[in-house]
Structure 1
Amino acid sequence: MVQSQDSSLQRTGVTFAAELAFEDIHLHYGDVHTLKGISLVAKPGEILCLLGPSGSGKTSLLRLAAGLEEQSSGRVRMNGRVIAGDNVFTPPEKRSVGLMFQDFALFPHMTILDNVRFGLRSMSAADTNREALAAIRRVGLEHHLNSYPHVLSGGEQQRVALARALAPRPSVILMDEPFSGLDTRLKDSVRAETLAILRETRATAIVVTHDAEEAMRMGDRIALLDHGEIIQAGTAHEIYHAPRNLFVAGFFSELNVFSSTCRGGVTETPLGTFDCAGRPDGTPVSVAVRTVGLDVRAPGEGGIPGRVVSRRFLGVTENLVLAVPGTDQPVRARIRADELPAGIRDVTIYVRPGDIMLFESDAENA
């Protein structure tokens, strides 16, 4: 069935998604070893999130993929072909890669239409206009064709940057903290719109973020980096439920952490006694309990007695700070708002087994 002209203009052109692979990537800035043997594959049509704290190497890896920098050693491949490494370097404009910067990098002296047309200069004038208009319409900004960036909101500027990156129909699109400049109210809606557009175009996407929830919302897979190394990679479900170490667990959820020792197949903490079978007696462990894994109720049978030190209403949830016997360390809990009666001080705490994690303290292996 042939689509009408208007209908086709509402859709972003579908690309031929590529596989992008990093093989044993090392990057040095003088004496600083920024990337340390990164090996990672973004599969065709996949959204891969690079997650990690500032300085972990996320943006450096993105810049290598874009061709804005050269690695010290290792190879970057697209669909099996080396595009960087082994005395090969394909310039950015020949990689079929779209890049969306954190600050959007729009040209202030150009209209929105001209900004989006900028990356289409190798096409004829008619093709350039058609592709630019299609991209702008798809992000819902056709009424701003002749506007300049300064009159647009942050969310609108983000959509222009996305349209410009997608207009040439790249096989891979690279996005560096694309939502960090948006306020909280806009972020969810713009992120959902962006995700829908990426799915529609079917391009392979690599998204850099420092926000674990954002990575879980967007990514088919997540690679968590720290100090230039991949600490763990997998789906959000895999990483959340089977974190490799305490760093990974703490990046994906708020934790209460207690130092303890395995004795007789169990370890004791202020929140109860937990199984550590299979570890020799005397093994030091860190016991991590997610703040969402604590059920706090009015005094009742069983559980751990506690006292509310403070509570903060956050709309859907409440954050509690609790005092429990056997430790001066405050225990934090996140519960549904209004589940606990107002003004109550003495409570009983129950721990959900699925939110308890044990890590050996010396190597922090789960």
Structure 2
Amino acid sequence: MNQDARVATRVTAGVTFAAKLAFDDISHSFGAGNPTLREVTLSAEPGEVLCLLGPSGSGKTTLLRIAAGIEAQTAGRVLLNDREIAGPSVFLPPEQRSIGLVFQDFALFPHLSILDNVRFGLTALSREEAKREAMIALERVGLESYADSYPHVLSGGEQQRVALARALAPRPAVLLMDEPFSGLDSRLKDSVRAETLGILRHSRATAIVVTHDAEEAMRMGDRIALLRNGRLQQAGRAEELYLRPADLFVAGFFSELNVFDTRASGGAADTPVGKVDAAGFADGTPVNVAIRTSGFDVSEVSGEVQARILSRRYLGVVELLDLAVSGAETPVRARVRCGALSSSARDIWLSLRKSDVLVFERADKNA
């Protein structure tokens, strides 16, 4: 039976009411002058998968730990369905929050069976009730036949699903997942991500997933919240962050870019690879023109700007080119469809695709 069929036939017992989890002006610091979160306001809506995205040290995991009750914020409030669960006057312990947590390393007990791992946290239930709920959770992830086995016999992907079943067994209103796929090899990630997303939809839990991988966030998240140095840079749907990034950092997190420092003049900006639209910027405004590596059409016959191929790397569907362009201080990088250029091509022409050009006011205006 395939995964879709398993999801369709699994039991429907699960989360009764998905909850809204909100962070209200959250700040956190491990010591004076060392803030890890800075006035973060963000919410995960009922039944939504929200991905917390950002580089290492951006505050993603700290925000997750604050939601779970493992860490206390320095300032601000955490609310579950508009009820304060952590703030200046209240701090509910983790076991009272109806929030489940899936750790990065799965944290399964090697000496316990799969069934006993899943029912480990169901201490408020009788032994028989806990066994029933654990089996329901295992059925939900398609591993009921492994109930009497031990973690060492399972693959990495199966262990991840056991950890997910254990987190879902108490039927939490919100599920938190901290880089849940980082320990899986690249070939396995796609299938386990798809299975996990199906399970989350089926359980109806609100989920917050931490990742540093932009593509993973785009694959999984209904919305994405991008953090940098403890601040929320931008939040929205994947297409909003990709097509309308708030700044150069956001744009660079979702695409490999060529960035040119220049100035606006007459509603345009000149770059070594051509003139681009800069409407809305006053004459003389310092700007960064960011062009995605996918934003070039190439030809051996004609185009807008001449370039010389310095190197080319075959990547299967595309080739990655390093190009010398007059006026560019560093090589221009381009991803082009394989077969777009002959194997002997050296001097070529470039043309820009407007949809892959982004213009931002330069932060270091004096540079």
TM bucket, shorter chain: over 0.9
AA paired with 1:136? L
Aligned to 1:325: 326
Equivalent of 1:127 in 126, 129, 146: 129
Whichever residue aligns with residue 212 of structure 2, its letter is H
CA-CA distance at 1:9 after TM superposition: 5.0
Structure-2 change in CA distance of 1:276 and 1:9 (3 Å): closer
Match of 1:238 in 2: 240
Could you state the TM-score of these two structures normalised by the residue count of structure 2? Answer: 0.94
Structure 1 residue 328: Cα displacement? 3.4
Match of 1:13 in 2: 14
Distance in 2 (alpha carbons) for counterparts of 1:192 and 1:155:
11
| Correspondence for 1:62 | 64
Amino acid at match of 2:335: R
Counterpart in 2 of 1:155? 157
Query: Which residue identity does 2:93 align to in structure 1?
Result: P
The structure 1 segments of at least 4 consecutive aligned residues displaced by more than 3 Å after TM superposition are 7-12
- Report whether the alignment pairs 1:215 with 2:185: no
Task: Map 1:1-366 onto structure 2 (within 5 A).
Answer: 9-11=10-12, 13-31=14-32, 32-300=34-302, 302-362=303-363
The Cα of 1:123 is off from its aligned counterpart by 1.3
**8 Å CA contact retained: 2:104, 2:179:** yes
SS in 2 for 1:65: helix
State the 1:203 CA deviation: 0.6
TM-score (norm. length: structure 1): 0.94
In structure 1, distance between residues paired with 2:243 and 2:45: 23
SS at match of 2:355: helix
In the TM superposition, residue 8 of structure 1 has moved relative to its aligned partner by: 6.5
Aligned length, in residue pairs? 358
State the alpha-carbon separation in 1 of the partners of residues 231 and 16 from structure 2.
31
The CA deviation at 1:112 is 0.9
The residue number in structure 1 matching 2:3 is none
CA distance in 1, matches of 2:61, 2:127: 34
- Return the alpha-carbon distance in structure 1 between the equivalents of residues 153 and 316 of structure 2: 33
Counterparts of 2:315 and 2:277 in 1: how far apart (Å)?
A: 34
Extract unaligned runs of 5+ from structure 1.
Answer: 1-6
| Shift in Å, 1:275 | 2.1
Q: How big is each residue's C-alpha offset from its partner over 1:254-283, in whole Å with a ceiling of 9 and x where there is no partner?
A: 000011112233211011011223322221
Q: SS in structure 1 opposite 2:227? A: strand
- Percent of aligned pairs with the same amino acid: 63
Measured on the aligned residues, the alpha-carbon RMSD in Å equals: 1.7
User: Is the contact between residue 14 and residue 204 of structure 2 (CA under 8 Å) also seen in structure 1?
Assistant: no
- Superposed displacement of residue 246, structure 1: 0.4
Deviation at 1:337, TM superposition (A): 2.3
Where in structure 2 are there 5+ consecutive unaligned residues?
1-7
Tell me the alpha carbon deviations over residues 332-364 of structure 1, each in whole angstroms, 9 at most, x when there is no partner.
111222332223212111110011011111279
TM-superposed deviation, 1:171: 0.5
SS in 2 for 1:89: coil
